[in-house]
Structure formats: C-alpha cells, structure tokens
Structure 1
Amino acid sequence: MRRISTARWRSDLGVSDRWPAKGFRLWTKGAIVAALCLAGCGAALPPTIEGRASVIDGDTLEVHGQRVRLWGVDAPESRQSCRLGGRDVACGRIAANRLDQFLDGRPVACFEQDTDRYGRMVARCEVAGDDLGAWLVGQGLAVRYARYAGLAYRTEEAKARRAARGVWAGEFQLPEDWRKEQRRGRASAE
C-alpha cells in the first residue's frame, strides 16, 4: 500500500493548507461581532410601557390601565402581616405605601420580561433610572423572587438583611408561602 502525503492530496483537491484555519477564524470573528451586536440591542430597546403608575400592591403597578407585575421581586400581600417588636404590622400595606411615596407621581418606564399566569405583564420598571425591584428589595419591602430573578437583587437583599431593614427587622413569612397557606385555608374551609 502506497502512502500519499497530506500535502499532495490536499493540493490534488485544490485545498490550501491555510484555508480551513483562515475560514474558521473569519467565521468565528463574524459570530462574535453578531453576538455583540445582539447583546447591545437589548439596552437600546424602548420601554414596553411608560407613564404615570398607580400602585396596586407592593409588587404590582397599573400604567395606562394595564397591570404590571414587577419582575424578580415578591412583596408581602396587601392583607399580610409581619411581627415587629412583638406586635403585628401590616407589612403588605406598608410596602405598597412606601412604593407609592417613592414614585411620587413620577413616570415609570417598564421593560417587559414575561407574562404571568393571570395575563399581567411582568416587567423591570424604572423611575428616574432607578430599578424599582432593586429599590424594593434594598429597602426590605420585598424579597428577591429567586425562582424568577436568578442572581438579580442578591446584593440588595443581603444588605437589607444585614441592616435589618423592612421585613428583615422582625419576623415574617415569605409572601409565596403566605399565599400558599391562604389557598390551603380557603380550600379546607370549603
């Protein structure tokens, strides 16, 4: 059996030694440029909805008649209480009132992330460039909704815990657990 050198069969086929590497490098550079362009596109997108917002509860707004659930955070429910200094406080109403005070009639800009099971827009919202989710979690008025937020707002939550701000100043039930308990209570009463 006669061996043919790689160089010979490559030249017989009309393929240069540099072609595969050069083509691969060119393709890789193009893919990187395309990825960078696409990554930058998200920052340039306009808000999905913007305008003056009404506070429905600690993590829900209404903008132009549309309900918007704040992405990545979970605030105590309107009827939910927490223990602070040995007494019950309406932490759900406090969160909603503080959010309303923070907004102070300023317009919000919301960037849609998803739609929840109730058909509400789930969005990251800002007022004057401040992320409302980060503000709520940082003030201890909401917790990071880890299931949806991933690593977002971890720093804000850790700082609020250390400083014993908001719900972290006393005892409270996670809003998600409180809702489940309320549903179970209604189901057993029926």
Structure 2
Amino acid sequence: MIEGLIFIAVIAGLFFFLWEKKDPIRSEREENPPSVIPFPKKPPSENRPTYYAPPTPSPFNEKTARDAVEKPVIRGRAYVVDGDTVVIRKTQIRLFGVDAPEMNHPYGKKAKWALVKLCKGQEVKAEVTDVDAHGRTVAKCYLPDGRDLSAEMVKLGLAIDWPKFSDGVYKPLEVPDVRKKLWLADARQKGRMHIWDKYDAKQKERQENA
C-alpha cells in the first residue's frame, strides 16, 4: 500500500517537472513579472468630458439694431400739444434735441402758440430718430421750406438746447440769458427736479387761496 503511494507521488512529480520544461515562457513570466506602470491621473478639470462650446454671441446693441433699419418719415399737418410736442397722423412726436417749458410753467403757453404759428397750414415732415424713455417718438421736424422746428423754437427764445440728446447742435442758436428765462427747463436738464416740486407746490397753494 505504501509502496503504491510512493510510486504515484514519483509519477506525479515527474509529470509536473516535464510540464514546466514544456512551457518555459510561462515559467519565466512567473519568475520575472513585468513592471506595472500606473496610468497618470488627469487633473479634475481634465477628467470632465469635453463638449463643443459655441462662440459667445456679441451683446445686443439696441442702437445699432435701430440704425440698421431705415428710419421712418411721417408727413402731415401737425397738431401742437406744447412747445416741443406735436401730433402727426395720430403719432405723438417730441421735437428732437430741445426742451421747451411745460404748459403750466412760465412761457409754456407762449411756446405752444409760437409753435402753432410755425406749423399752421403747413405739412410737417418728421424724420424719426428715436423713442424716448416715456415711449414717445422723437423726430427732427421740418417745414416745407426746410426750416427745422427745433431750431426755430430755440431762435425764438422759447426752447433751449438739450445737449444730452442733441450733442449741442442747437446751443449756438440760444438767445442771451434764455436759461434764466426758462429756468425750470434748465433745472430739468441738470436733474434738479426738487425745484419743480417747489414750484408746483406754490402753484397749488395759490390756486387753493384764490
């Protein structure tokens, strides 16, 4: 029995020895395993998938968009609202680049009737330039003989140039001391609206005491 076991062990050992000799590559690979080179890790930002980023569009420029479209022209008889506002073909239009007194301010009614006299019986051409903060159409308005209504009102001393909108084009036409005369319009241009509040309060007080 023992002899049989020894014989089997010898045969198994001989078989294993012959099998190792038969596959030398395997033996060499097991004795000298290849060096493992770790794959370099990318920074966190590089590990994120890369997507196509479309070019950032230029910011919308309202003025450029408006200028790209031909400015409309409105023609017709003008109904005068005040010294710097008319209505042509149901469109309320603010005269370009000037400021006239309000109807309840000194010279307000005089400014209105001066503009009425200029426009009476005339077809006015309004070249639209913009829309103001109050949603009113702003236009350069011309009489048939080519006279600019804004310029005419300034020359009459019943309106003043508004450099913020006109770039000072009507400033040379202002009559001497007109800003003292139209002091409320001048105050508005300088952002001194508290002067308007005081004036309106005094007007209301006078009406109540009348």
For residue 182 of structure 1, what is the aligned residue in structure 2? Answer: 196
| 1:69 alignment partner, SS class | strand
Q: TM-score, normalised by structure 2?
A: 0.54
Deviation at 1:171, TM superposition (A): 3.5
| Alpha-carbon contact 1:47-1:109 (below 8 Å) kept | no
For residue 79 of structure 1, what is the aligned residue in structure 2? Answer: 104
For residue 153 of structure 1, what is the aligned residue in structure 2? Answer: 170
Deviations 1:37-65 (CA, angstroms, capped at 9, x unpaired):
xxxxx9xx786211000000000000111
CA distance in 2, matches of 1:121, 1:176: 22
> Comparing both structures, which one devotes a greater share of its residues to strand?
1
Deviations 1:61-118 (CA, angstroms, capped at 9, x unpaired):
001111000010000111001xxxxxxxxx0100000110111120100111110112
Q: TM-score, normalised by structure 1?
A: 0.60
Unaligned 5+ segments in structure 2 are: 1-66, 205-210
Alpha-carbon RMSD across the aligned residues, in angstroms, is 2.7
Paired amino acid for 2:133: R
CA distance in 2, matches of 1:104, 1:176: 28
Deviation at 1:174, TM superposition (A): 3.7
For residue 151 of structure 2, what is the aligned residue in structure 1? Answer: 134
Q: Which has the higher contact order (CA 8 A, sep 6+)?
A: 1
| Alpha-carbon contact 2:160-2:171 (below 8 Å) kept | no
Q: Percent identity?
A: 34
Correspondent of 2:140 among 116, 124, 132? 124
Paired amino acid for 1:145: W
Q: Would you say how many aligned residue pairs link Structure 1 and Structure 2?
A: 129
Unaligned 5+ segments in structure 1 are: 1-41, 82-90
CA distance in 2, matches of 1:185, 1:80: 9
Point out the structure with max Rg over C-alpha. Answer: 2
